Chain A
């Protein structure tokens, strides 16, 4: 588990880059927290600096879009998915990321989504 930041420091619609190797981007949408690999699968650009719209993030360099829930690209020029990671918030409100093992598109995505959703609900409650 990698500590990211306090939830208060990650307002809705914002994102934070975690300098792991490879780096991870954590997003807070209206609904939930999501974590994906930060580097666009097309070319070297940081998705944490991208444009967040619903559950999609648009790469700041070439406008490739990724679904934060699955890591799948939704339009060109990206063709390969990015990995998704599990996000959790502890009792003190600190956000953590559990780095997924293996390649993009691997199992664990659904769990990450569920966890992130639960956190999102917890936050808004």
Chain B
């Protein structure tokens, strides 16, 4: 393989580039990113960066030394617009094309916008309405939140991004309302009992959580002035943050030979329908699921790159799902897979203290865990779960390696 192109210059793309070099690939490496920025870490954008506790230079995911070791050609501020049917030529919006004999797709996801909302000037053009995904998004939002004047903030969507933004806004002294269309935020992920406890964190800090109602329209002419809810209520707003999920960045792949369905379809090793094209991170639908988790984006690339270099799937990676969130001074951590039939119980701590460890069980087997401010026991359990979730292929490979080592 003489040229590998990594499309996407965020966490998964950078980890793929690192994995390529770590695995001995010494050919040409081209990294294409639609933002002008070098890779940076996104999780702080809704937390420490928004409150001002963390500066921009602390977000960098690599440094000059590492970048020189990567020996990559960086094409930044350039958007990929197409991949030919052989998966060998990437068309860029600059008019240029990049030819490669291996492609890593790491184009992430973009925030979902409010569907069907209409303002007098159209919600898309109203000042004060934000989504939060990129550094530029965070800069724009931070500028409106740090003028020194308390403002009315309405957060649409009570998931992790929405809840973290609400928490950061409270820390900055603003009045905050969170609107969630579902009966409770995080209901599918955590189940009723635990979602109820996490939702209570908002009230603990004076944030009103409005559930079970969607948004009909945003009000305002140039700048947003209010959010009209399905139930007829009008919430006054100076700033609106929309955090209602993200859609995978696959639009540029229409017309390619890749199978797309809520992401780029791949096998458990990240290999797409073309063996010289792999996908990693938020954009990859690995096996039958797509995860938008930080850890996932760091753990998938090693296997995907190994398979890319081998020309076939020799390694699989289905990392144990893990996500965390910091809200109102509470660290929430979740690992595993919760199924609707799971039962949940608290094994230490108490919900009143907002410090506990809970386990999700199915037929007596622990399949997931949730912790609020209990990092140590959580970590132990997470490691146990990760050991148990080895894929058959990985377990077989480990057994073979152990046998080989024993034979030596």
- CB interface residues, B 374-389, toward A, < 8 Å: 375-376, 378-380, 383
- CB interface residues, B 306-351, toward A, < 8 Å: 324, 326
Chain A 57-77 per-residue mask, 1 if CB under 8 angstroms from chain B, else 0:
010111100000000000011
Give B68 Cβ to nearest chain A Cβ, in Å.
14
User: Are the C-beta atoms of A79 and B378 separated by less than 8 Å?
Assistant: no
Which label, helix, strand, loop or mixed, suits the secondary structure of the A interface? loop
Known A-B contacts A43-B43, A44-B48, A79-B63; A50 and B379 likewise in contact (beta carbons under 8 Å): yes
Residues of A contacting B66 with CB < 8 Å?
A: 79
User: Are the C-beta atoms of A60 and B379 separated by less than 8 Å?
Assistant: yes
Does A114 make an interface contact (CB < 8 A)?
no
User: Are the C-beta atoms of B383 and A60 separated by less than 8 Å?
Assistant: no
Q: How many residues of B contact A (CB 8 A)?
A: 21
Give B78 Cβ to nearest chain A Cβ, in Å.
26
Interface size bucket, A side? 10 to 19
Known A-B contacts A43-B44, A44-B48, A77-B61; A49 and B375 likewise in contact (beta carbons under 8 Å): yes
| Bound form: Cα–Cα A1–B63 in Å | 35
Does B223 make an interface contact (CB < 8 A)?
no
User: Are the C-beta atoms of B375 and A76 separated by less than 8 Å?
Assistant: no
| Bound form: Cα–Cα A82–B61 in Å | 17
Does B295 make an interface contact (CB < 8 A)?
yes
| Bound form: Cα–Cα A36–B379 in Å | 20
Does B298 make an interface contact (CB < 8 A)?
yes
Residues of A contacting B48 with CB < 8 Å?
A: 44
| Bound form: Cα–Cα A32–B187 in Å | 46
User: Are the C-beta atoms of A49 and B294 separated by less than 8 Å?
Assistant: no
User: Are the C-beta atoms of B375 and A61 separated by less than 8 Å?
Assistant: yes
Residues of B contacting A76 with CB < 8 Å?
A: 15, 18, 298
Chain B 42-68 per-residue mask, 1 if CB under 8 angstroms from chain A, else 0:
011000100000000000011100100
Give B67 Cβ to nearest chain A Cβ, in Å.
12
Residues of A near any B CB (own CB < 8 A): 43-46, 49-51, 58, 60-63, 76-77, 79
Pick 6 A–B contacts, CB within 8 A, sort by A: A43-B43, A51-B379, A58-B379, A76-B15, A77-B61, A79-B63
**Extra inter-chain contacts (8) besides given A43-B43, A60-B378, CB under 8 Å:** A43-B41, A44-B326, A45-B375, A49-B376, A58-B379, A62-B295, A76-B298, A77-B61
